[in-house]
Homo-oligomer: A and B are copies of this chain.
Amino acid sequence: MSPSPSKRTEVRRLPERASYDRQLIFAILDEALICHVGFVHEAVPVVIPTIHARVGDTLYFHGSPVSRLLRGMRSGREICVNVTLVDGLVVARAAFHNSMNYRSVVLFGSPRIVDNADEKWAALEAVTEHVVPGRWAECRPMTDKEFKGTLVAALPIDEASAKLRTGGPEDDAADYDLPIWAGVVPLSMTPGEPVDDPEAHIEVAVPSYVAEYRRPRQQP
Which listed residue (B84, B131, B194, B195) contacts A98, Cβ 8 A?
Answer: B131
Does chain B have a CB within 8 A of A1? Answer: no
On chain B, the residues within 8 Å of A136 by CB distance are 95
With A45-B40, A89-B132 as contacts: A140 and B192 at CB distance below 8 Å: no
Does chain B have a CB within 8 A of A55? Answer: no
Contact status A175-B140, CB under 8 Å: yes
Residues of chain A in range 139-184 having any CB-CB distance to chain B below 8 Å: 139-143, 146, 150, 168-169, 175-184
Of A82, A96, A128, A196, which is in contact with the most chain B CB atoms at under 10 Å from its CB?
A96
Contact status A47-B38, CB under 8 Å: yes
Q: What is the count of identical protomers in the complex?
A: 2
Contact status B80-A46, CB under 8 Å: yes
Q: How far is the CA of A120 from the CA of B182 in the complex (A)?
A: 25
Contact status A202-B187, CB under 8 Å: no
Contact status B183-A197, CB under 8 Å: yes
Which listed residue (B49, B181, B202) contacts A104, Cβ 8 A?
Answer: B49
Distance from A115 Cβ to chain B, minimum over Cβ atoms (Å): 19
* Closest B residue to A182 using CB positions: B197
Contact status A46-B38, CB under 8 Å: yes
Of A36, A40, A191, which is in contact with the most chain B CB atoms at under 10 Å from its CB?
A36
On chain B, the residues within 8 Å of A202 by CB distance are 176-177, 179
Distance from A105 Cβ to chain B, minimum over Cβ atoms (Å): 10
What are 17 inter-chain pairs, A to B, with CB distance below 8 A? Answer: A33-B86, A36-B47, A36-B84, A38-B46, A38-B80, A45-B45, A45-B78, A89-B131, A94-B140, A95-B124, A95-B141, A95-B142, A96-B143, A176-B201, A184-B195, A184-B197, A187-B192
Supply 12 further A-B pairs (C-beta < 8 A) apart from A44-B80, A91-B194. Answer: A13-B68, A36-B49, A45-B80, A48-B106, A89-B132, A93-B140, A181-B207, A181-B210, A182-B200, A185-B192, A185-B195, A186-B195
